[in-house]
Amino acid sequence: MSDSERASRHVGRPRIRVSFEFFPPKTEEMERTLWDSIERLAPLRPNFVSVTYGAGGSTRERTHATVKRILSQTALTPAAHLTCVSATCGEVDDVIRAYHDAGVRHIVALRGDPAGGAGEKYAPHPGGYENGAALVAGIKRITDAEVTVSAYPEKHPDSASVDADIDMLKAKVDAGASRAITQFFFENDLYFRYLDRVRARGIAVPVTPGILPVQNFKQAKGFAERTGASVPDWLAARFDGLDDDPATRKLIAAAIAAEQVLDLVDRGVSDFHFYTMNRADLVYAICHLLGLRPAPKQEAAE
Ligand code: FAD
């Protein structure tokens, strides 16, 4: 399809909206990288920016500090991730109240992975929230914050079937979640097939595709293995032989992500959530392709 054909197909389409996911930095250098990325991406006026909660709640303080800094130093709307693994309901409730008191009005609610990592058998903490749905209900008891939850087009690895997964999504939505963000995927048909099943189950909330620009193929493959996402052979083939060639890898990564998001747009998707890995370049370029432009700088008042 030519650019003009694509442009004319997009006339009358809903506005593209994006959100960006970051993780809390561990070191001062990582902190600088994160803030450079936030500053670069902020003018694209994302719908919200989310900050992850480390495995087992390990980044509780750092997540909170990052969210607070976003609130106090930027005009962005933060969404704080929260997991309920390895914590009592009381401990989790304290975090929910602290988010609320800090002005956070959007929480991404997750069960979380067991302390030993994804793949270990999950057991709820005695006295803790049992799963994502119970956590959503707990959040809604404390705050009227918007709640977003996870969705798995290729099934969560713990789940017996896609239907069991969709039952859990339904329970989370019935408990008050108003949006789901998917695990990343590389084949768009998987997303649309999943969406059909979600809608057939009577779930009406937006299910925003989570997009992982492949900045590092080996790392992405590792994530995929742990999360049950499939890595198609064509994707591996495109990165083949580029282990020592980061510049070409980056161009290929941009081309792959562009192909994926533009196909999603052609098929009616208007909201995207980017797993940024705290890096702005690729995500900025993809957003540009989606038609997003930085907000004009405010003139200084005379
Ligand atoms: P749930 O939605 O509660 O469950 C997922 C599936 O597993 C359901 O299908 C459910 O039926 C099944 N299931 C749940 N418990 C059991 C059980 N005991 N036995 C059998 N089946 C079960 N992790 C973090 O640590 N921090 C983050 O900030 C974070 N952010 C994320 C953001 C997004 C958008 C996504 C998609 C994932 C994120 N994760 C994060 C990963 C997530 O914590 C893991 O995938 C975790 O294993 C499941 O949490 P959940 O809320 O998705 O689980």
CA angle 121, 124, 127 (to 5 degrees): 160
In a domain, 4, yes or no: no
In a domain, 211, yes or no: yes
In a domain, 6, yes or no: no
Q: Which residues of 267-286 are buried (b: 16+ CB within 10 A; e: fewer)?
A: eebebbbbbbbbbbebbbbb
pLDDT in tens, 132-187: 999 999 999 999 999 999 999 999 999 999 999 999 999 999 999 999 999 999 99
Pocket of ligand 1 (CB under 6 A): 52-53, 55, 81, 83, 108, 110-113, 118, 122, 131-132, 150, 156, 158-159, 164-165, 168, 181, 183, 210
Confidence check: pLDDT of 117 > 90: no
- Considering its fold, how many domains does the chain have in total? 1
* Ligand 1, atom 15: closest residue by C-alpha: 131
- CA-to-CA distance for 206 and 194, rounded, in angstroms? 13
Joined together, the tokens standing for residue 281 give 């370049």
Quick one: which atom of ligand 1 is closest to the CA of 150?
A: 36
Q: Domain holding 286: CATH number?
A: 3.20.20.220
pLDDT in tens, 25-44: 999 999 999 999 999 999 99
Q: What is the mean pLDDT of the chain?
A: 92
pLDDT in tens, 279-298: 999 999 999 999 999 988 76
- Distance of CA 148 from the midpoint of ligand 1 (Å): 12
In a domain, 5, yes or no: no
In a domain, 7, yes or no: no
In a domain, 1, yes or no: no
pTM: 0.94
- As a whole number, mean pLDDT of residues 124-128 equals 91
Contacts of 198 (CB under 8 A, 6+ apart): 151, 166, 169, 207
- CA-to-CA distance for 193 and 203, rounded, in angstroms? 14
The residues that are catalytic are 21
pLDDT in tens, 220-269: 999 999 898 999 999 999 999 998 999 999 999 999 999 999 999 999 99
In a domain, 240, yes or no: yes
- Distance of CA 239 from the midpoint of ligand 1 (Å): 29
Task: Please give the residue range of the domain that contains residue 38.
Answer: 15-301
- Distance of CA 112 from the midpoint of ligand 1 (Å): 5
In a domain, 43, yes or no: yes
Confidence check: pLDDT of 300 > 70: no
Other C-beta atoms within 10 Å of 178: how many?
14
